Amino acid sequence: MRDINGETRRERNEAFELLSPEAEVPEAGHPLWDWFWDLRSAQAPGFSGPVPLSHQEMLAWLQLTGNLLRREDIAVLKAMDGRYCQVVVEETEAIRAREAG
């Protein structure tokens, strides 16, 4: 997510020589990680932040890709999406606070 200067949090951290943590995804989680980002890439943003993935969107994605998911996989993808939406909202608020102050 970019601020009004077009700068991402990672770029800002690098400018101030701060570390940006990398996601540590276990080998067994790579397919779900890739699928999550594939699902998110097709999701249009909402007016006040990210819109959570709907079951309908997940079903359409499954039909288009031919991927097969277990209930547990879907639960993990939904949990990842919930956390993603939460972090984007937090980052948006941090950008607003920086720009206001």
Residue-wise pLDDT for 21-40, tens only, equals 788 899 999 999 999 999 99
The pLDDT, as a whole number, for residue 62 is: 95
- Please, what is the end-to-end C-alpha distance for the chain in angstroms? 19
Q: What pLDDT score does 67 carry?
A: 94
Q: What are phi and psi of 53, to 5 degrees?
A: -65, 135
pLDDT at 83: 94
Q: What pLDDT is recorded for position 1?
A: 64
For residue 12, the model assigns a pLDDT of: 79
Domain ranges within the chain, ordered by starting residue: 25-98
- Rounded Cα gap, residues 35 and 67, in angstroms: 9
Q: What residues of the chain score a pLDDT lower than 50? A: none
